[in-house]
Amino acid sequence: MTYETIRLERRGRVAVVTLDRPKALNALNTALLGELSAALGELGRDEGIGAIVITGSEKAFAAGADIKEMQPLGFADAYLGDFAGGWDQVAATRKPMIAAVAGFALGGGCELAMMCDFIIAADTAKFGQPEITLGVLPGMGGTQRMARSIGKAKTMDLCLTGRMMDAEEAERCGLVARVVPAGDLLETAIAAAEKIAGFSLPATLMVKEAVNRAFETSLAEGLRFERRQFHSTFALDDQSEGMAAFVEKRPAQFRHR
Ligand code: HXC
C-alpha cells in the first residue's frame, strides 16, 4: 500500500513509520490518522515485524493535531463525528512501539509519542500540551497518559500554562526513556527496536500488555495478571529455547522470535 502522509520502511524485523507532512510540521490530520492506522494494522498482521519505530523530521515529530482542520468544527461535528476517537486504535497497537522524537512534539504530537511504549528523544526535542492557548484542552490522552507517566504537578504545569519542556527536563521527569544527540536518534531507536524484535514475539507482547495493565488495575490484580502471563510462557517453544540456550551457553534462536 502507498501512503501520502507517512512513509513506511521495513528494516528486517523492524518497521519505521515516518510522519511526513513537512509543510505543516507533521500536523496530525484525518488523512494521516487513517494512513497511520492502516500501516499499524498492516504491521500488526505481519509476523515478520517484531517492533515499530514512529518518528518525524528533524524539526518536528508532530506539532499537534491539525489546527486548520479543527478550526471550522462545531460541537456537533466534533461530538457526532467522534473527532480524534480513531487514535484509540493507534494506542491499541499490540506490538512494541518506540517514539523517536526530534524537534516539536506538541499537543497531539506529544500525545502520539505517549501512545508509544517508550520515547527516545533527541537533545533537540521539545514537548508540550499547548491546547490551552487555543481555548481547548488535550483530546488524545494528554491529561491522562501524561498524569500517569509524570505525575500531577508537571502535568498540571504543562497543560495549564501550555509551556514547552526540553529533552533534559522530559528525561528528568520520566516522560522520556533516553536522550541522545540528534544525529544518533534514528539509529538508536532502530537498534532498540531490533533488540526487542530479536526476542520472543509472544513474550514481548506480554510484557507490553502486563506493563500497561499496571495503569488500569490494583497492584494485587496486576501481580496476579503478571504471574498468570508468566506461567503461560511455559507453553511456548521460546521459553524452552531461551532457557536451554542459557544452560548450553549459546545465543537463543527464538522460533516465534
Ligand atoms: C496546522 C500547523 C500546526 C498545527 C504548525 N503548522 N503547527 N498547521 N496545525 N498544529 C503549520 C503552520 O501553520 C505553518 O504553515 C507551518 O506549519 C510552519 O509553522 P510555523 O508556525 O511557521 O513554524 P515556527 O515559527 O517554527 O513555529 C513552530 C511551532 C508553531 C512553535 C510548533 O508552528 C506552533 O505553535 N504550532 C502549533 C502548536 C500547537 O498549538 N499544537 C497543538 C494543536 S491542538 P503555513 O502554511 O502557515 O506557513 C492539538 C489537540 C490535540 O494538538 C487533541 C485533538 C483531539
All 3 cell numbers of residue 125? 526535542
All 3 cell numbers of residue 197? 524484535
Q: Name the residue among 229, 227, 237 with its Cα closest to residue 257.
A: 237
The ligand 1 site (C-beta within 6 Å) comprises 24-25, 27, 63-68, 84, 104, 106-108, 130-131, 134, 138-140
Q: What is the pLDDT of residues 7-19, one digit of tens each?
A: 999 999 999 999 9
The residue whose CA has the least distance to atom 7 of ligand 1 is 63
Residue 1: pLDDT above 70? yes
CA–centroid distance, 30 to ligand 1, in Å, is 16
The residue whose CA has the least distance to atom 41 of ligand 1 is 64
Q: Which residues pair with 16 in a beta bridge?
A: 9, 53
According to the model, what pLDDT value does residue 255 have? 85
Long-range contacts of 206-212 (CB under 8 A, 24+ apart): 206/232, 206/233, 207/96, 208/94, 208/95, 208/96, 208/117, 209/94, 211/117
Q: How far apart are CA 2 and CA 5, in angstroms?
A: 10
Q: What is the pLDDT of residues 17-33, one digit of tens each?
A: 999 999 999 999 999 99
Q: What is the pLDDT of residues 217-251, one digit of tens each?
A: 999 999 999 999 999 999 999 999 999 999 999 99
Cβ proximity of 56 and 26 under 8 Å: yes
What number of other Cβ atoms are within 10 A of residue 207's Cβ? 17
Active site residues per annotation = 65, 108, 111, 131
Q: How far apart are CA 16 and CA 75, in angstroms?
A: 36
- How many residues belong to the chain? 257
CA–centroid distance, 106 to ligand 1, in Å, is 9
The residue whose CA has the least distance to atom 38 of ligand 1 is 63
Q: How far apart are CA 133 and CA 135, in angstroms?
A: 6
pTM: 0.98
According to the model, what pLDDT value does residue 257 have? 54
